[in-house]
């Protein structure tokens, strides 16, 4: 056997799994098709990432990187009629209350180097081409992307962490795309975006429009990531370049216009598809799918990196235990799969809700009856192991959302109110031309 584990992909899921397995003394190979540092989207973390950072031993390196600290998240309606800030430390059930916003090129390289530091062999610029099973265990055919001859490598286990490339899931035809969440994202990095004062300066700011939403994420002392998520069909119908569509939607997002009055774009416009999906199976014989290679959901609640790292950690634990037992670990893998489903469903339900008005109406009205706000706060921070005390509160939250469909428990949201004159228009005059250069 060449390795105990081959990890396909060196993003957050892959580098977490590799670091933990190598630290446990296993021979680990990471195949990463890109050369780091490379751009990646997904810049806002969740506080519960901190526990995993501590386990990986990367907290000092992350501190030194100087990323902005994130203490909360804001949700605004584009017409400025409602807004809501969640401050993680105010949640009764929230055990970790702050984290960082990151530039992924830097963050991902730091994590991959950490996997190296613990002893993983990392081959950058190597793509997995095929993966299969034989009497010896798992094999992976891989080649250098510069055109090298494919080689066949053997391992007891393979961890698929190929992100939305969804390598083994596609190979096995397992991907199921959410029919209502076929989104697309248009985004860029900017300098000069106005930040809030104090701790709120590091918040993720979400601006919900009638159709679509913007994110604003401060990822450096100067740099801010700003993006628009909308239905892919709407973009196709618009028949305009993505940056024009971004600009048009910006005029419906007053809280963002104000913040971007002096913004200047410092990176290229980028567009990516943002389809939510899951694979019908998350494990196979001696194979575990992690992170986006298990499933991907719309990034509204910034859970992607946290779920990716958490699944990388759980995959490493399952593989480590199976190796210790000297078995194929089928029961351990089945347990892993159940756990990943459970945590994915948690956010999946919230994401589906976010695109419905009754959910927003309840979500945007803070009422601490039965500690509901605390429960939502904990979920937004990454609490997926909160047990029954969290679960019944979330069930109650969703019951209120169902009631809200028929009876207005909280005031109705009116997206058309955006036609009223913008009292802050004088602040945003001149922005689009400057930012769209």
Ligand X SMILES: Cc1cc2nc3c(=O)[nH]c(=O)nc-3n(C[C@H](O)[C@H](O)[C@H](O)COP(=O)(O)OP(=O)(O)OC[C@H]3O[C@@H](n4cnc5c(N)ncnc54)[C@H](O)[C@@H]3O)c2cc1C
- The residues that touch ligand X, with contacts defined as CB under 6 A, are 8-14, 31-34, 40-44, 127-128, 161-165, 167, 185, 272, 274, 291-293, 299, 302-306, 308
Please tell me the distance from the alpha carbon of residue 360 to that of residue 367, in angstroms, as a whole number.
14
| Six token digits for residue 307 | 């779920």
| Six token digits for residue 80 | 């400025």
The residue to which tokens 């078995």 are assigned:
327
Smallest distance from the beta carbon of 163 to ligand X, in angstroms?
2
Please tell me the distance from the alpha carbon of residue 210 to that of residue 85, in angstroms, as a whole number.
20
Q: How would you classify the pairing of strands 270-279 and 204-208?
A: unpaired
Please tell me the distance from the alpha carbon of residue 37 to that of residue 108, in angstroms, as a whole number.
7
Smallest distance from the beta carbon of 92 to ligand X, in angstroms?
24
- Asked if 263 and 184 touch (Cβ cutoff 8 Å), the reply is no
Going by C-beta distance under 8 Å and a sequence separation of 6 or more, which residues neighbour residue 233?
Answer: 182
- Nearer to ligand X by Cβ, of 214 and 431: the residue is 214
- Nearer to ligand X by Cβ, of 125 and 386: the residue is 125
| Six token digits for residue 237 | 């119908």
Smallest distance from the beta carbon of 38 to ligand X, in angstroms?
7
Residue 125 backbone class (left: φ over 0; alpha: ψ -120 to 50; beta: rest): left
- Nearer to ligand X by Cβ, of 41 and 200: the residue is 41
- Nearer to ligand X by Cβ, of 24 and 315: the residue is 315
Please tell me the distance from the alpha carbon of residue 203 to that of residue 75, in angstroms, as a whole number.
10
Smallest distance from the beta carbon of 24 to ligand X, in angstroms?
20
- Nearer to ligand X by Cβ, of 78 and 295: the residue is 295
| Six token digits for residue 231 | 């239905």
- Asked if 383 and 93 touch (Cβ cutoff 8 Å), the reply is yes
- Nearer to ligand X by Cβ, of 12 and 220: the residue is 12
**Bridge partners of residue 101, in order along the sequence:** 44
- Nearer to ligand X by Cβ, of 78 and 312: the residue is 312
Please tell me the distance from the alpha carbon of residue 436 to that of residue 307, in angstroms, as a whole number.
34
Smallest distance from the beta carbon of 151 to ligand X, in angstroms?
13
- Asked if 49 and 141 touch (Cβ cutoff 8 Å), the reply is no
- Nearer to ligand X by Cβ, of 124 and 199: the residue is 124
Smallest distance from the beta carbon of 13 to ligand X, in angstroms?
3
| Six token digits for residue 87 | 């401050």
| Six token digits for residue 244 | 């024009």
């Amino acid at each position: 056997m060449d390795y105990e584990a081959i990890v396909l992909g060196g993003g957050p899921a892959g580098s977490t799994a590799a670091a933990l397995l190598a630290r446990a003394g296993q021979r680990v190979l990471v195949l990463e098709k890109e050369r780091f540092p490379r751009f990646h989207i997904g810049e806002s973390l969740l506080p519960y990432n901190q526990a995993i950072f501590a386990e990986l031993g990367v907290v000092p390196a992350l501190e030194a990187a100087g990323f902005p600290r994130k203490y909360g998240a804001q949700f605004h309606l584009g017409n400025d009629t409602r807004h809501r800030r969640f401050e993680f430390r105010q949640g009764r059930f929230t055990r970790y209350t702050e984290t960082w916003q990151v530039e992924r090129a830097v963050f991902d390289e730091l994590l991959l180097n950490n996997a190296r530091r613990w002893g993983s062999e990392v081959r950058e610029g190597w793509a997995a081409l095929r993966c299969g099973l034989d009497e010896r265990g798992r094999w992976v055919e891989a080649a250098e992307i510069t055109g090298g001859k494919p080689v066949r490598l053997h391992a007891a286990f393979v961890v698929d962490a190929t992100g939305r490339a969804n390598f083994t899931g596609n190979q096995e035809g397992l991907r199921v795309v959410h029919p209502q969440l076929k989104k697309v994202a248009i985004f860029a990095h900017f300098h000069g975006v106005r930040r809030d004062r104090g701790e709120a300066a590091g918040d993720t700011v979400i601006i919900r429009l009638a159709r679509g939403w913007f994110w604003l994420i401060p990822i450096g002392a100067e740099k801010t990531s700003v993006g628009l998520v909308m239905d892919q069909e709407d973009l196709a119908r618009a028949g305009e370049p993505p940056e024009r569509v971004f600009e048009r939607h910006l005029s419906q997002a007053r809280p963002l216009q104000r913040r971007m009055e002096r913004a200047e774009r410092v990176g290229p416009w980028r567009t990516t598809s943002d389809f939510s999906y899951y694979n019908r199976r998350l494990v196979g014989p001696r194979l575990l799918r992690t992170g986006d290679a298990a499933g991907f959901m719309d990034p509204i609640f910034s859970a992607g990196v946290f779920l990716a790292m958490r699944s990388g950690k759980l995959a490493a634990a399952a593989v480590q235990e199976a190796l210790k037992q000297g078995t194929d670990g089928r029961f351990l893998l089945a347990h892993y799969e159940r756990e990943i489903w459970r945590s994915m469903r948690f956010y999946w339900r919230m994401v589906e809700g976010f695109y419905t008005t009754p959910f927003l109406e309840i979500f945007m009205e803070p009422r601490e009856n039965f500690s509901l706000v605390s429960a939502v706060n904990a979920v937004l921070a990454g609490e997926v192991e909160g047990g029954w005390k969290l679960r019944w509160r979330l069930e109650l939250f969703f019951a209120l959302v169902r009631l809200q469909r028929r009876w207005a428990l909280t005031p109705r949201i009116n997206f058309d109110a955006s036609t009223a004159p913008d009292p802050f228009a004088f602040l945003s005059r001149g922005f689009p031309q400057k930012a769209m250069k």
